[in-house]
Amino acid sequence: MTPANRRSGTPSVLAAIHHPLRRRLLDLLSADGPATASRLAAETGELVGNISHHLKVLASAGVIVEAPELARNRRERWWQLGDTAGYSRPVAGAAGDPAAEFVATSAEDANLAHQAAKVRQWFDLRDEFDEPWVRAVYATERWLTLTPAQLVELSERIEELVREYASHPAVGDDAHSVFFFAHAVPARP
């Protein structure tokens, strides 16, 4: 049962999005909006040709799409995120296929490391932020007793709220990109 707010991630899609540079490109497109390979190269310090290669891999996987309406001429290519629904990690669906299981497990591990790194980055940078930002940072944890259907419902409700904020970005001098993530997994204390 894949929740409505998630697409099934094939091994090729998961492999495409969990390359470190491609993940960074996705983060930049998500936080800053559409961009050209040149703009992304300037942001990452990589060569334009290398960025173009990785953009093509992401486009082939259907994760990003061209935004031709933003181009000022026929040579300029703009890229933006495709469907913004998250990907399920199909470890269960890969049962019996060792290669697919390896890709799915590696993708889960890379995703968790990426998310934890963003929180650690905040710990390192929080002294650069004003007090309202330090006070506004949010983290929570709760032990819940749920059925699989309730966990799907919880994830859909959270995703609905997150999409609402994502579709109406804040403007103003005090607006800043915020990395949001949540995990809800069966566990034992």
Least confident among 4-8, 44-48, 101-105: 4-8
Domain-embedded: residue 119: yes
> What residue ranges in the chain does DSSP mark as E strands?
6-8, 35-36, 64-66, 78-81, 86-88
Domain-embedded: residue 141: no
pTM for this predicted structure: 0.75
Domain-embedded: residue 31: yes
Domain-embedded: residue 110: yes
Can you give the CATH number for the domain in which 115 is found? 1.10.10.10
Give yes or no for a contact between 40 and 80, defined as CB atoms under 8 angstroms apart. no
Mean pLDDT of 126-133: 93
Domain-embedded: residue 34: yes
Look at residue 87 and tell me whether its pLDDT is greater than 60: no
